[in-house]
Amino acid sequence: MDSLAEPSPVKIAGKPLVGRVVFSVLVFTAAFLGTTAGLLIVYSTDLPQISELERYRPSTITELYDDQGRQIGSFALQRRVLASYDDFPKVLRDAILSTEDKTFETHWGINFWRVFGATYRDITSSSRAQGASTLTMQLSRNLFLSPERHFSRKVQEALLALQIERRFTKQQIFTLYCNQIFLGHGVYGFEAGAEYYFNKHAKDLKLEEAALLAGLPKAPVFYSPINFPDKALKRRNLVINNMLEDGKITAEEAGRAKTTALHLNIQPDRSPAPNFVEEVRRFLEKKYGADEVHEGGLRVYTSLDLDLQKSATQAVLDGLAAYERRHGWKGQLKNVVQSGEGIGKYQDVDWQKPLAVGDYVHALVVDIGLQFCKIKLGRSYASLGPAELAWTGRKLPKNIFAVGDVIYVKVLALYPDGSAKVSLEQDSGAQGALLAIENSTGDIKAMVGGRDYDASKFNRATQASRQAGSSFKPFVYTAAIDQGAEPDDLIMDAPTTFNSAGVPYAPRNFDRKFEGNITLRHAMAESRNIPAVKLAQRVGMPTVADYARRFGITSPILPFLPVALGAADVTLYEQTSAYTVFPNDGLRIEPRYIRKVTDYEGHVLEQDFPDAKDVVSQRTARTMVSLLQEVVKHGTASSAKRLNHPVAGKTGTTNDYTDAWFVGFTPSLTCGVWVGFDEKKNLGESETGGHAALPIWMDFMRAVVADPARKNETFAAVGSDKRKTTAVKRAAITPPRHAADAEAH
C-alpha cells in the first residue's frame, strides 16, 4: 500500500510556484504587448499617408536648351534628374545593395537580425553610431521624416517601411530610393550623380564609378571625391570588396577596379552663357513663380546658339586682353601672403571648373627662381619666364612678382602630366559686352555681359546705359533719307555754330579737320560730325528722337542737337536690336530669348513667335544698308573688309574715349559690341570704336560667316521691289506705326 502514500510535499508546493511563474510571464507579456501597442499607436498617429507616395514627384531640375537642343543651364534647389529602374545598370544596383541592404530582395521592410545586432553594438559601445536601416527604411526617412537620430524616429521609420513594402514592388521602391538619395554637392539621385561627377548617364557607369557613387549615401560630405579624394577612394574600394564577397564581381574585376584612380569629370556648374541664363531666369520667375522654376522641372527651349556663344565669349576675352597689352603692365596684384590667407589654403573661384584651352583664369605664384616662376591653377601647374613676360617690359619674374601674388593668365595648352602652358595677361578693370541677334526671327544667338560673371553679375549687354557716340548717327540719316534726302546729295563739312535749345553749340570732327562739300555717303563712311548735326537740324531733333523710338530705343532721347552725335545713353540691347531693322527691309522684330516652355511631362506652357512691325519703308532701309556698307568699304570700319563677306555697320566713340562701339550686320545676323570701364573712365588715346570694339566684332563674325548656310547671302539692291523672304511673313506683322508716312517715301 506504499504506492498509495500521500504525494511529496515538494511536488505539491511546486504547483503554486509554476503557476506564479506562468502568471508573471503572462502579465509581463501582456504589459509588453500593451506598451508596444500603445507606442505603435502613439508613433503611428502622425505618420504621413503612404498613398501620397503614389502621386509623389520630387523637385527636379529646370533645364535650358539652346536652339540645337544642347543644355546650356539649369535652375534647381536640388540637382535631380528622375530616372526609371532600367536606367540604373546592374553594376550600380549590385553596388548599392551590397553596401546598403544585402537582403533587400527578401525582407519585408525591416531586417530584424540587423536591428538586433545594431542594438547590441549600440548598447555595448554606449553610442548610437551603428545603423540598422534597410534601403526601404532609408527611403521612408528621406521622404517623410527628419534626419535626427532617436528612438521614436526609428519606430516611425520602420512602420513606414512596412507600409511602403505592402503597397509597392521592390523595383518601384528601389527606383524611388535611387531618385531620392543625397549624394553631396547639391546632387540628389544616382542619375544626377553620374552626370555631375562623371558627366555621363548612369547606364554608362563603369564598375569603379558605380562603386564610388554607391559609397556616398552613408556620408556624402565626409566621402566627397572632390573635397576628400583619399576618403572617397577607400570607401569606393570597400564597396568593391562588398560586391566581391557577395559574388557580384570576380576577383579579377575587383582588382582592376581597386587599382583604378579616381577619374572625375565634374559637370561645370557655370553655364557657358551665364548672363543669358540669368535673363531667362528673371523672365521665368516673373511669369511662373520661383517655386515652379526651381522645383518644377520645366524644359525651356531658348534662342541661343551654343557654338556662337562660345565664339562670342572668346572674342570678348581676347579683345580685352589685346586692349590690356596695348596699355602696358600695371601690376597692383593681390597677394594672399600679405592678406593672411596663406598659399596652401588659397582656392580661387576659377579653379572650381575644369580648365580648358582658351580659358582666362586667375593663378597663384607659388615659387620664384632666377629665370622662371612657378604658378598654380587649381590642380595644374605652369611656369612663366622671359618670353611670357616680354610684353610687360620686364625680363625676370622677381622684378614683377612676389610669392603669393594672384595673377591673370590665358591657358594655351594642357598636358597629361597636369602641367599647362599659359600666357601672362592682365585685368585692369576694362569691360566688354556683345550681343548677337538673328535678323529674321529676333532670336538672341549670343550674349556676353562682361569679362567675368563670377566677379560681377552685372549684365553690360542689357543693364548698362552708355553714350552711343557715332553709332547713333544712322537714326539721323534714316530720318533724312525717309524725308527725301539721297546718298549722293552734297552737304558742307565746315565749321558751324548751331543754336541748341538757346545755347551755342560748335561741334568738331574727330580729326579736327573739315572737308568742304561732301556726299552724305562719304559723310557716313568717315563719320563726319558736322554733316550729321546739319541733317539733325534740317529734319528736327524731335523727329530724330521719334525715329529712334520707332527703332526700339526706349531710353530717354532728349531733342537736343548733341544727341545727333550720340550724347544719349542707350543699352547695347537697344542699339543692336534697332540695327536689325536695316537688313530686315524696315521691319523691327522684337528680340526673344525663349522659343518654347514645357512642363516636366512635356505639355507646352508657352510658345513664342516673332512679333514684328513696320518701322521704315523698304527703300529707306535698303538705302541705309548701302550707306552703312560704305563705312566698311571706305570708312572707319574698313578693316572689316577682311571678312570677305557682305557686312555693314557703324563705329561709335564718345568724348574722352570712355565708350567704344561697333554695331554691324550681315544679311542674316546683327551683332553689337561695347568696350569701356564700368565707371566712365578714359580707355586711352585712340581707343575708338574701330580700334577697341571692331576687332572683337570681327573675331565673332568670323564664326558667323563660316557657316555654310550663310556663304552666299547678299544684301538686296535698293532698286529691287522684292521683299526679303527671310523676314517674318507679312500676315504676322502688327499694324505699323506711321505706316502711311513710311510708305509715302
- 98, 303, 311, 470: the catalytic one is 470
Where among 224, 258, 292 does a domain terminate?
A: 258
689 with 706, same domain: the answer is: yes
CA 661 remoteness from chain centre: 26
Where among 258, 276, 305 does a domain terminate?
A: 258
> Does residue 538 belong to any structural domain of this protein?
yes
- The 8-class DSSP code of residue 531 comes to H
Q: Per residue in 12-66, pLDDT tens? A: 455 667 666 666 666 666 555 555 444 444 444 455 556 566 666 677 889 999 9
State yes or no: is 100 an active-site residue: yes
> Does residue 497 belong to any structural domain of this protein?
yes
Q: Which three cell numbers stand for residue 452?
A: 567675368
Give how far Cα 73 sits from Cα of 80, 396, 507, 623, Å: 14, 43, 48, 41
Packing angle, helices 207-214 and 251-258, rounded to 10: 70
Say what the pLDDT of residue 4 is.
Answer: 47
194 with 334, same domain: the answer is: no
Distance CA 586, CA 309 (A): 27
Say what the pLDDT of residue 112 is.
Answer: 58
> Does residue 289 belong to any structural domain of this protein?
no
393 with 467, same domain: the answer is: no
720 with 676, same domain: the answer is: yes
360 with 454, same domain: the answer is: no
Give the side-chain half-sphere CA count within 13 A for 155: 15
Q: What is the CATH number of the domain that holds 740?
A: 3.40.710.10
Distance CA 170, CA 176 (A): 10
Distance CA 141, CA 138 (A): 5
Q: Are strands 79-80 and 187-188 parallel, antiparallel or unpaired?
A: parallel
Distance CA 677, CA 679 (A): 5
- 100, 157, 279, 687: the catalytic one is 100
> Does residue 500 belong to any structural domain of this protein?
yes
> Does residue 180 belong to any structural domain of this protein?
yes
State yes or no: is 617 an active-site residue: no
Give how far Cα 283 sits from Cα of 298, 300, 458, Å: 13, 12, 16
30 with 101, same domain: the answer is: no
- List strands edge to edge, sheet with 594-598: 71-75, 62-65, 299-302, 594-598, 604-607
Instruction: Give the number of domains in the chain.
Output: 4
Distance CA 375, CA 348 (A): 13
Phi and psi for 455 in degrees, rounded to 5? Answer: -80, -30
- Stated pTM of the model: 0.82
- The 8-class DSSP code of residue 696 comes to H
566 with 552, same domain: the answer is: yes
Q: Which three cell numbers stand for residue 743?
A: 510708305
Say what the pLDDT of residue 3 is.
Answer: 47
447 with 397, same domain: the answer is: no
Q: Domain limits at 24?
A: 16-45
Confirm if 640 and 649 have CB atoms less than 8 A apart: yes
Show the low-confidence residues of the chain (pLDDT under 50).
Answer: 1-4, 10-12, 36-45, 118-120, 123, 126-130, 146, 726-727, 729-745
> Does residue 693 belong to any structural domain of this protein?
yes
Q: Which three cell numbers stand for residue 153?
A: 524616429
Q: How many CB atoms lie within 10 A of CB 569?
A: 15
Q: What is the CATH number of the domain that holds 138?
A: 1.10.3810.10
Q: Which three cell numbers stand for residue 547?
A: 525715329
Q: Where do the H-state alpha helices sit in 670-729?
A: 694-705
> Does residue 131 belong to any structural domain of this protein?
yes
Confirm if 420 and 414 have CB atoms less than 8 A apart: yes
118 with 246, same domain: the answer is: yes
Q: Which helix (H) or strand (E) holds 535?
A: helix 529-539
583 with 669, same domain: the answer is: yes
Break the chain down into helix, strand, coil percent, rounded to 5. 45, 15, 40
Packing angle, helices 170-180 and 190-198, rounded to 10: 40
CA-nearest of 501, 556, 508 to 532 is 508
471 with 551, same domain: the answer is: yes
> Does residue 58 belong to any structural domain of this protein?
no
Three-state DSSP class for residue 610: coil
CA-nearest of 597, 578, 600, 605 to 589 is 578
446 with 419, same domain: the answer is: no
Q: List 377's β-bridge partners, or say none.
A: 380
